[in-house]
A and B are shown apart, each in its own frame.
Chain A
Amino acid sequence: MSVAPGQALHAEWTKFRTVAGPAWLLAGVIALTVAAGAAADCAAQCSSAACGLDPAKVSFTGVYLGQAVVAVAGVLAVGNEYSTGMVTLSLTAMPGRLTWLFAKAAVLTGPVLIASALAAAGSALAGRLILPGHGFTSAHGYASLTAAADYRAAFGPALYLTLIALLSLGVAAAVRDSAAAIGLVLGAAYLFPLAAAVISNVPVSRHLQQIGPLPAGLDAQTTIGLQNLPLTPWQGLGVVALWAAGALLVGALALKFRDV
């Protein structure tokens, strides 16, 4: 018996939409990202033309928090199957294990992408409403947030959050345990920028900023000082995509070559 990809997708979509968890988590992504971004907008103050603050980076500060929720959603998409023992049932019904994993990834991607886009749009809107009142005015060298760089900066967090969800899903498939998986994902996300900030060795610090998913992803939401970034914005997103692809690959290999 084999299962067509369409059937697999449909089955996974039914699982996804009939439990309350994912919907709440995705609502949490939007709420937390926008709220933290708005709080950062309120805290930011640009008093001169040389204040050096990037309005896009400030607006999308919520990504620091939102990514943790999106990681939980990604981890639980697979982790729940293992913690409830559902996975044996799923893989009995769907013996093509990779079909199962990629159907899960596909089903997760759609809603997460929508939620991430809403989170990014909400953050950008909050920034546009709040930041001009905090010194981010044309007098200080900030044009309205409609330049091409600003649209790219808004794509940045939307794609970044989606890729983090896929990274989490891959890690969870590889380690089969939600707790260990979330520790690994958030460790990868937060430890690179932390280590880069405390290390005095400048070349090593720069390399950590290039290979870490969070600093690389943050490069994609930057609009000023681009020439000083360790990576170009699109390279940054590329690094995050490599992380997600690598995690999915490891998860797929683990799933294929081991007992459930």
Chain B
Amino acid sequence: MSGPSSSLHTRIWREDAQADNPFATRAAHCHGYDVYGQMLGRARWVDLLYLLFKGQAPSPAQARLLDALALALANPGPRDPMVHAAMSGGVGGSHAAASLIAALAVGAGQSGGARDVRLAMDAWQHWVAAPTGDLGARIACLIAHDSPPWLAPSDSGWPEREHPAGFDPHGVSTAGIVIQALQTLAGMGVGPRLSWLHEHLGALEAAATLPLAMTGLAAAAFADLGFTPMEGEMLHLLLRLPGAAAHALEQQTVYGFKRFPYPPIDLQDDPLVKRAEESVA
């Protein structure tokens, strides 16, 4: 028997094998911390979450912010397309994973989904580079949504951008839950973006002619926590799954398909109608 032709490489995770089995784990370390020997029972879920991505333990303030953000994102509610998709899985009796795959695919989107967060975080990177005292320049960074002349590898498959990232294209004024979340998160004093957003929300929304969406708030929070746009996109997908899962199960076990909306249809290219029109003509 020969050894592996190439190894898996990681800076995140180290496992020591059981003495009697090279495939079983005796101890696991995450970025050097003994997960089961030291962290378990002492650290919080968000501590490990932050550690996994950033390679270091969060400060108490960062952990509080991430914990609060996770709560704010946990359930977009049954009207959200992502949760609706998961519920469609539940109502038909699809497998649990199918409901979550549905939630992830829909929740990945460029309008209201994880791609929206990533693009908004890209915009926050431009915001950092803009002169601190130039409010107009900073706002311009956050509302730009021109499509690039040439698609980058990460642009593949995505449609043209229809609105600035992180804003609600159908909003009239800032939704109450967004304002409540912004006030709470900005008050936690981590990073400059949330407090700037809180202070300049009116000017920013006026320039965008759209109200801030929860994705825009999440983007600012992820960026204040030090996450990259790619990390923010991934975390947004992850942190919105709890509500999708719960709603999928509720439809499957409590309500069933007979109480799930199945709207009437307005078929605008109907051969029966065409035939009737032709016979009249």
Chain B binds chain A: no
